[in-house]
Amino acid sequence: MADQPSVAAADRAAELARSIEAHNRAYYVDDEPTISDAEYDALFRELVDLEANYPALKRVDSPTQRVGAPPSTAFSSITHGQAMFSLANCFNDDELTRFDDSLRRELGVETLTYNAEPKFDGSALNLRYVGGVLESAATRGDGTVGEAVTPNARTIRNLPLRLAGEFAADSVLEVRGEVVMPRSRFERLNAGLVDSGNKPFANPRNAAAGSLRQLDSAITAERPLMFYAYGIGQRIDVAITDRISEQLERLDRLGFTVSPHIERVQGVAGCIDYYQRMAERRPELDVEIDGCVFKLDDGAQRAEAGFVARAPRWAIARKFPAEEVVTTLADVDFQVGRTGAVTPVAKLVPVAVGGVTVSNASLHNADEIARKDVRIGDQVRIRRAGDVIPEIVGRAAAERPADTRAIEIPAACPECGSAVDRVGDDAIARCTGGLVCPAQLREALKHFASKSAMDIDGLGERQIVAFVADNLLASPADIYRLYQYRDALIERPGYGEKSVDNLLAAIETSKNTTLARFLYALGIREVGSVTADSLAERYKTLDAVRMAALDYPDQVARVSAEHSTKKAQEDALSETGLRALPDIGPRVAECIAEFFAEPQNQRVIDELLAAGIVWPQPEVSVAGGELAGVTFVITGRLPTLTKDELEARINAAGGRVASNVSKKIDYVVVGEDAGSKQERAASLGITQLNEAGALALVDGS
Ligand code: IVH
């Protein structure tokens, strides 16, 4: 057991901690070092040694804790003491003026005083101090609950582990601010990452957010992060003024770094003037900002203005416009996505925009290229807003160089050579290769194995690319045959018995799924997880989904024969079948119909089911399902029930309701103004029932 520390040792440790933190503050917050690096190191080492000899002396707020704690495997959640709100945005002076006008009107004040601040472009952090000591740090998360990143936050050198001044033991103070990485340090970090063979960060914001969310805080400790405090959250037993400008001064005295560019300004004129000055200064600042924030300075006025949804009505962010630069469009590549879409990607002469070097930009599709009238060799304007992929805004000059070349969508897929189809009205060129195309296959497999689909742990991009290249996977069903290659897989470089068995186990586990996940995993164009959920919810079985899909084109044909106006056709279509689902419009319905009509897709589905993929089957009703196998069509207005209600009753008894009358239909339930379906039923000799007759069948009497 370690020795008990003497009183002298304890006193010395406390004194060292205090003094090191004071030097930290002088260096990191005030930018005015008070001692030499060597002297600082000597103090630091003395404290490290003392704590090593007497672990009891190691306090959570010790400066030695700034080097990181042992890595964890996941972040736990923390509920913020007070919710972290977001900010309403505006993009021009008019919008800003409207914001000010409405506040002035509501508060009945001629000229309002705002606290004007830079809007930092980093990652929000909420610090919770109990008794003046940092207890926890959490990311913003959804505003109510964030991720606990306390050991990481402790490594940020300008973030006080203990507040200056006296605090009651149970007092609570939440301090909010932004974690950022200064531009100069970001460039150095990226250069180092590239040298060591790692991927650089796209911009300082990603670098800050990524560093803050490291599971190994020792890595965070090596990242040059800074914390800028901009606000206060929950406070218990801590006296603090309600005026924002004074709160920020107080934060400075408590030991935080607060932006030196904060001002109190009068009225919207003061805001606009501040914004213009910050826009001019922006390029010189070492910390990235993406706009200015204006907050009502006065606490009583803020209380009166209140909140809407997740944002206060007393504050607004005036964002800088997305930066635009000019460069040369050097060439165009074509990328093939999961659904075969062939997307043109512009290759640019590299250019710096918004803090990153850009060499690719999206051109979307052929129509966009035509609309923007750009050719290879043109000078083009590039815009980058936030994190989105940079895009080509248009040509930079009316004049174009003599030797430009038109951008041609290739007739053959660059990945597999299959024909590229440009029919259809969506302007998208598509490779017709399906799963024969390695690009589509890779993307389809990635989608199939992804978390919200079949959720196969360990089958990610890297494995899929390699397995496709080696012909181990040529369709999603092949995933369930991988076990046959266990020995060969174990021999692969970078694999071993354990990792292969884990992968095979994950594949096995994925066989127990849900209908919704399975439908989503199939990668039907336009069918995201929400649509897959509603299909599963509505149709209950894969067969019923398939029937509805295959019936859709017939339904469209019938409806257009029966109704002359577009409106009447739309109304009729949305009454039954696929289109009756709230999130399925014409385009989605067509994609679902096309998918099930394609024999290749049917084969993949059959193989997957044969491999043993299962999901819980819908419960057969207690009524015994006496209507099992019986199919109804409902048409016209019923006297007491809606169509949906009757359908629910029929389903509960095990029966099915179809949208169109055919020879396979057992009964047609006829209401008022029934029209053509009734005629068709009559001509096919199908039994017709009224509502009461249908209910009698349902109730088994
Ligand atoms: S105040 C109730 N002040 O912007 C007001 N936020 O869109 C809440 N941000 O996630 C925020 N600089 O992380 C405020 N000077 C500043 C800010 C700032 C950057 C971020 C913040 C928040 C986001 C809101």
Domain ranges of the chain: 7-58, 88-319, 322-432, 433-510, 516-610, 631-698
For 253, the token pair is 């005295």
DSSP secondary-structure letter at 672? B
Query: Is the C-beta atom of 124 inside 6 A of ligand 1?
Result: yes
| DSSP line for 195-251 | HTTPPPPSSHHHHHHHHHT-SSHHHHHHS--EEEEEEEEEEES----S-HHHHHHHH
Query: Is the C-beta atom of 119 inside 6 A of ligand 1?
Result: yes
Residues 362, 445: Cα–Cα separation, whole Å: 24
pLDDT value for 424: 62
Query: Is the C-beta atom of 120 inside 6 A of ligand 1?
Result: yes
503 burial via Cβ count (<10 Å: 0-12, 13-18, 19+): buried
Contact 157, 24 (CB under 8 A): yes
Q: How many angstroms is it from 24 CA to the middle of ligand 1?
A: 26
**Mean pLDDT, rounded, for 242-270:** 97
Q: How many angstroms is it from 183 CA to the middle of ligand 1?
A: 19
Q: How many angstroms is it from 662 CA to the middle of ligand 1?
A: 61
pLDDT value for 701: 53
What's the fold here for domain 516-610? DNA polymerase; domain 1 (1.10.150)
Q: Give me the residues paired with residue 325 across strands.
A: 382
pLDDT at residue 519 tops 60: yes
Q: How many angstroms is it from 86 CA to the middle of ligand 1?
A: 7
**Mean pLDDT, rounded, for 304-318:** 90
Q: Where are the beta strands (DSSP E) in 636-683?
A: 656-658, 667-670
Residues 428, 342: Cα–Cα separation, whole Å: 7
Q: How many angstroms is it from 319 CA to the middle of ligand 1?
A: 12
Most confident option among 50-54, 69-73, 519-523, 620-624: 519-523
Query: Is the C-beta atom of 315 inside 6 A of ligand 1?
Result: yes
Residue nearest to atom 14 of ligand 1 (CA): 230
**Mean pLDDT, rounded, for 200-216:** 89
Q: Which of 119, 175, 278, 297 to mutate to test the pocket of ligand 1 (most atoms within 8 A of CB)?
A: 119
Most confident option among 260-269, 344-353, 650-659: 260-269
Q: Which of 205, 251, 271, 293 to mutate to test the pocket of ligand 1 (most atoms within 8 A of CB)?
A: 293
Query: Is the C-beta atom of 143 inside 6 A of ligand 1?
Result: no
pLDDT at residue 10 tops 60: yes
More confidently predicted of 311 and 161: 161
Residue nearest to atom 13 of ligand 1 (CA): 124
- Residue 146: which H helix or E strand, with range? strand 145-147
Residue with tokens 């819908």: 618
Query: Is the C-beta atom of 87 inside 6 A of ligand 1?
Result: yes
**Mean pLDDT, rounded, for 630-658:** 88
Question: Alpha carbon of 146 to those of 211, 351, 561: distances in Å?
Answer: 16, 36, 56
**Mean pLDDT, rounded, for 222-226:** 95
Sign (positive or negative) of CA dihedral 155, 156, 157, 163: negative
Count how many residues are written for the chain.
Answer: 701
Cα torsion through 220, 226, 231, 233, rounded to 10: 20
Contact 126, 146 (CB under 8 A): yes
- Residue 104: which H helix or E strand, with range? helix 93-107
Residue nearest to atom 15 of ligand 1 (CA): 119
The pLDDT tens digits for 120-165 are: 999 999 999 999 999 999 999 888 999 999 999 999 999 999 999 9
The pLDDT tens digits for 76-111 are: 989 999 999 989 999 899 999 999 999 999 999 999
**Strand, coil or helix: 253:** helix
CB < 8 Å & 24+ apart, contacts of 583-587: 583/530, 583/531, 583/534, 584/531, 584/534, 587/526
Contact 508, 498 (CB under 8 A): no
Of the CATH numbers 3.30.565.10, 1.10.287.610, 3.40.710.10, 2.30.30.90, which one belongs to the domain with range 7-58?
1.10.287.610
Residues 473, 459: Cα–Cα separation, whole Å: 12
pLDDT category, 197, cuts 50, 70, 90? confident
Contact 252, 158 (CB under 8 A): no
pLDDT value for 311: 87
Query: Is the C-beta atom of 140 inside 6 A of ligand 1?
Result: yes
Query: Is the C-beta atom of 288 inside 6 A of ligand 1?
Result: no
Query: Is the C-beta atom of 29 inside 6 A of ligand 1?
Result: no
pLDDT at residue 624 tops 60: no
Query: Is the C-beta atom of 178 inside 6 A of ligand 1?
Result: yes
**Strand, coil or helix: 431:** strand
**Strand, coil or helix: 150:** helix
Query: Is the C-beta atom of 86 inside 6 A of ligand 1?
Result: yes
pLDDT at residue 425 tops 80: no
pLDDT at residue 328 tops 90: yes
Q: How many angstroms is it from 102 CA to the middle of ligand 1?
A: 21
Q: Which residues are catalytic?
A: 119
Query: Is the C-beta atom of 586 inside 6 A of ligand 1?
Result: no
pLDDT value for 386: 58
Query: Is the C-beta atom of 117 inside 6 A of ligand 1?
Result: yes
pLDDT category, 3, cuts 50, 70, 90? low
Q: How many angstroms is it from 588 CA to the middle of ligand 1?
A: 38
Per CATH, the number for 631-698 is: 3.40.50.10190
Do 433-510 and 516-610 share a fold?
A: yes
pLDDT value for 173: 98
pLDDT value for 623: 47
CATH superfamily assigned to domain 322-432: Nucleic acid-binding proteins (2.40.50.140)
Residues 344, 335: Cα–Cα separation, whole Å: 7
The pLDDT tens digits for 473-490 are: 999 999 999 999 999 999
Residues 350, 384: Cα–Cα separation, whole Å: 13
pLDDT value for 1: 46
Q: How many angstroms is it from 231 CA to the middle of ligand 1?
A: 9
pLDDT category, 243, cuts 50, 70, 90? very high
pLDDT at residue 447 tops 90: yes
Q: Which residues contact 253 (CB under 8 A, 6 or more apart)?
A: 164, 165
The CB density around residue 478, as the number of other CB atoms within 10 Å, is 20
DSSP secondary-structure letter at 72? -
The pLDDT tens digits for 17-52 are: 999 988 888 888 877 878 888 888 889 989 988 998
Q: Which of 126, 142, 230 to mutate to test the pocket of ligand 1 (most atoms within 8 A of CB)?
A: 230
Assigned CATH class of 88-319: alpha beta
Residues 480, 501: Cα–Cα separation, whole Å: 13
Residues 636, 430: Cα–Cα separation, whole Å: 42
Q: How many angstroms is it from 354 CA to the middle of ligand 1?
A: 20
Query: Is the C-beta atom of 293 inside 6 A of ligand 1?
Result: yes
Residue nearest to atom 12 of ligand 1 (CA): 119
Contact 479, 503 (CB under 8 A): no
For 490, the token pair is 């174990």
Rg over alpha carbons for the chain, rounded to the nearest Å, is: 33
pLDDT at residue 289 tops 70: yes
The one-letter amino acid at 411: A
CB < 8 Å & 24+ apart, contacts of 105-111: 106/304, 106/305, 107/301, 107/304, 107/305, 109/301, 111/266, 111/267
pLDDT category, 355, cuts 50, 70, 90? low
**Residue 317 alpha carbon, nearest atom of ligand 1:** 7
pLDDT at residue 255 tops 50: yes
| DSSP line for 290-317 | EEEEEEE--HHHHHHH-EETTEETTEEE
Query: Is the C-beta atom of 443 inside 6 A of ligand 1?
Result: no
| Ranges 123-132, 154-163, 333-342, 623-632: which has the least confidence | 623-632
Question: Alpha carbon of 528 to those of 389, 432, 533, 602: distances in Å?
Answer: 22, 22, 9, 19
**Residue 259 alpha carbon, nearest atom of ligand 1:** 15
CATH superfamily assigned to domain 433-510: 5' to 3' exonuclease, C-terminal subdomain (1.10.150.20)
More confidently predicted of 104 and 195: 104
pLDDT category, 65, cuts 50, 70, 90? confident
Residue nearest to atom 23 of ligand 1 (CA): 86
% residues pLDDT > 90 (the chain): 57
pLDDT value for 33: 79
Residues 34, 253: Cα–Cα separation, whole Å: 18
Q: How many angstroms is it from 293 CA to the middle of ligand 1?
A: 8
Residue nearest to atom 6 of ligand 1 (CA): 119
Residue with tokens 């440790």: 13
Q: What is the chain's mean pLDDT, rounded?
A: 90
Question: Alpha carbon of 269 to those of 99, 101, 105: distances in Å?
Answer: 12, 12, 16
pLDDT category, 620, cuts 50, 70, 90? low
